[in-house]
Structure 1
């Protein structure tokens, strides 16, 4: 089977891929009953079962997970002795986040300037359709699969409630594989084949400063009265230096990124930075984004301007988040953050710190037979050299996969790229990314099996 032949087969399936994605997008599968009815996720799960059954996987079913979501899974055995590849995706989506700012119908696939718009088109229903297209192409060309295929489709990934993270260790034999494709990322740019090789870890804490038993009139008491709002501002300012570099005691902030470069001007566009506003930190964008820790103030509880009065507040609080590169655990970074904050509380104010969340960084496969097969497959599919990037977001499931299946090669890829606007209004996907990534996956499955003697 030649690359050109398989490329033609994948291309011929893109009409069906569009129809598939249109059906999937129509399900309002937000895994939050306060936003959308649970029946919408149930309908999406049933659609995934039917679609992958039709594509050749057997034993397709949905199993409950501890957070109440449904994990959809199935299996197709390959030739005797062939390796097993686990394909991951998720069928739940982010909420629309404001119907008034969508330029197309949220739950209806709409083509605009060659891109397919709608919630979930990229994250992650586009990856579901990509898997289906790759599997259908292999069956059409070969009558079957060159290796054993397993599927796991998650139903609550966007909520971060850990349903599948708990399900995986308890069902290790059901999901055990030699290689795992986590298809919930994507390319650095349209047409540039990219493996995501690192994921930031994260930790967050809530800090509250108390200084008075009640708010007091600022005219009568302001000046000597210790001001928790001002104290909080001073404290939070110690998390960065004058250039914007993160400066948490005990955390190295000098690392360098060795993968793809992220041009500053491109980052400014992708991050919607206003004209004339400088970027933070010393070093390249890639260094700051993927190789170093970064501190962010996520929220502050003080009176709003509209509801403020002439008073020194009794207390003030904030939530602080740290994103972490490989090389430091989430627990160690959280300890460092807590110690840093406690040591800098001004005017001996009372300080409460609550530990909110913690997650470790992840490093994906950088060598091995699956990695080499994927590299050649992506380069042939896209006709472009493969590169690597990090990702700022955390995917705790990757660490669970690594801990449960330590011998497996784990690679992150997918159809998402910066123009997709995932997690934002006006999400879209480039159908060419679905087509080329499906071709890459089909080539990978064939070449990986061949590298293992099949």
Structure 2
């Protein structure tokens, strides 16, 4: 495995790596790389059932054509069926087999994108890539078609500079349903395990610390969600005739929701893991600007901003079933529901967290209301072993490319399929990298990519591959 072929930092991670030549190759090809990215952005490949599946197939074909240009073997578009028998999203898989004694690296990204949302919120057409002020705007420009092009661009640079001396095995795995929750991901890994296995897996679907400062994402929060229903009546009744002795279901649901946080805004559910490990400084003013917090709104929780984002649980109400204001009437509503999303700190077992959430809503049922909790999805948190050789090499490559030290950054969000990768390939080192920055606005209107940092991301991955190759040559 790769642990045996990558040296420790003291051995000189950059030894034998033609840094200037790789950087020059990326720069020489960069205009073309951006042009190809624009072509990918133009394809509205959305894996949700409500959208045209033909566009998703078109997206996969476009990616496969780019991959074929690398000269990799066995370029395939593969899919497996969902639990209901419907076909899953098309994934592009291709590989270059390792020379004897060399490890294999798996390069992951996804070609499907989020729906464009309300077009009136966009300053440009969502599926027409537009360059403005050093950024490329368009749906998928950052998340995650730039990740695809980072892989392709880095492979081109390595081929240009190293040629036949490049002995690493490389497998490209470009998923086609990540934004729909990766419903067939685990089955896909198990079905094609022999094809997708590797010593190091690079997941290019995260963010850098800020423009000009690269990051290796070293922790991800886990996730559980579920639906709580509060019921107080067998059927709706007139609020004038019966109101007073009876509190309606939305009111009691609000009282239940209020128990999820303490007076400081910290999650108040017993049994959840929490820590204070994060050391990076995230000034409050910067955070408020990045998150578009309105003036006067007080931030919730205690401890540093980064610990609150990465090391502690966070609970949000992401949906409610009650009549809209436009459809309201003078009626005591018998039932109301809310969808709960709970982010989990690293080290938290999702099953235990789900049980704690269920126990909490039952224990805090207001005024004897009938409370039902229906569990939803669960995803494991993730933490990188930053002492592992691949992580050290990645941090070196990022710092060398940007010209400033890379930070070890947590992420408040979750990438549930990372847990599947760690379980199916337990011996692989997983590196979570990315091309986004705090203003990329992935999933939102006006999604964009900082082009200067994108070039550095391509260069960093080329340096990573070349360093692993050089380490094997020295071993």
Deviation at 1:39, TM superposition (A): 1.4
1:14 counterpart = 2:35: no
1:59 counterpart = 2:79: no
1:10-89 equivalences in 2 (<5 Å): 10-35=26-51, 37-67=52-82, 68-89=88-109
Deviation at 1:419, TM superposition (A): 1.1
Deviation at 1:299, TM superposition (A): 1.7
Segments ≥4 residues shifted beyond 6 Å? none
The match for 1:175 is 196
- Contact 1:146–1:446 at 8 Å: present in 2 too? no
- The number of equivalent residue pairs is 452
Deviates more, 1:259-268 or 1:47-56: 259-268
Distance in 1 (CA, whole Å) between partners of 2:122 and 2:46 is 17
1:112-151 equivalences in 2 (<5 Å): 112-144=132-164, 145-151=166-172
Q: Which secondary structure state, in structure 2, belongs to the residue aligned with residue 358 of structure 1?
A: strand
Distance in 2 (CA, whole Å) between partners of 1:309 and 1:167 is 49
Residues 449 and 297 of structure 1: CA distance in aligned 2, closer, same or farther (over 3 Å) = same
1:185-224 equivalences in 2 (<5 Å): 185-224=206-245
Deviates more, 1:75-84 or 1:407-416: 75-84
1:428 counterpart = 2:448: yes
1:3 to 14, 19, 34: 19
Distance in 2 (CA, whole Å) between partners of 1:43 and 1:52 is 14
1:327-366 equivalences in 2 (<5 Å): 327-366=347-386
The match for 2:286 is 266
Distance in 1 (CA, whole Å) between partners of 2:158 and 2:89 is 31
Superposition CA RMSD, Å: 1.4
Gaps of 5+ in 2: 1-16, 83-87
1:385 counterpart = 2:405: yes
Deviation at 1:281, TM superposition (A): 1.1
Cα-to-partner distance string for 1:14-60 (whole Å, 9 max, x where unaligned): 1111111111011110112423x211111111111111111231111
- Contact 2:206–2:436 at 8 Å: present in 1 too? yes
Residues 81 and 8 of structure 1: CA distance in aligned 2, closer, same or farther (over 3 Å) = same
Distance in 2 (CA, whole Å) between partners of 1:31 and 1:222 is 46
Deviation at 1:262, TM superposition (A): 2.1
- Contact 2:46–2:55 at 8 Å: present in 1 too? yes
Taking structure 2 as the reference length, the TM-score comes to 0.92
1:402 counterpart = 2:402: no
- Contact 1:195–1:386 at 8 Å: present in 2 too? yes
Gaps of 5+ in 1: none
1:200-349 equivalences in 2 (<5 Å): 200-253=221-274, 255-349=275-369
Distance in 2 (CA, whole Å) between partners of 1:376 and 1:213 is 64
Distance in 2 (CA, whole Å) between partners of 1:355 and 1:368 is 36
Deviation at 1:220, TM superposition (A): 2.2
Deviates more, 1:257-266 or 1:109-118: 257-266
1:155 to 148, 158, 176: 176
The match for 2:120 is 100
Distance in 1 (CA, whole Å) between partners of 2:423 and 2:141 is 31
Cα-to-partner distance string for 1:302-347 (whole Å, 9 max, x where unaligned): 2222222222211121111110011111111000000011011022
Deviation at 1:217, TM superposition (A): 2.2
Distance in 2 (CA, whole Å) between partners of 1:126 and 1:269 is 25
Deviation at 1:127, TM superposition (A): 0.9
- Contact 1:377–1:444 at 8 Å: present in 2 too? yes
Deviation at 1:379, TM superposition (A): 0.9
Taking structure 1 as the reference length, the TM-score comes to 0.96
Distance in 1 (CA, whole Å) between partners of 2:316 and 2:122 is 28
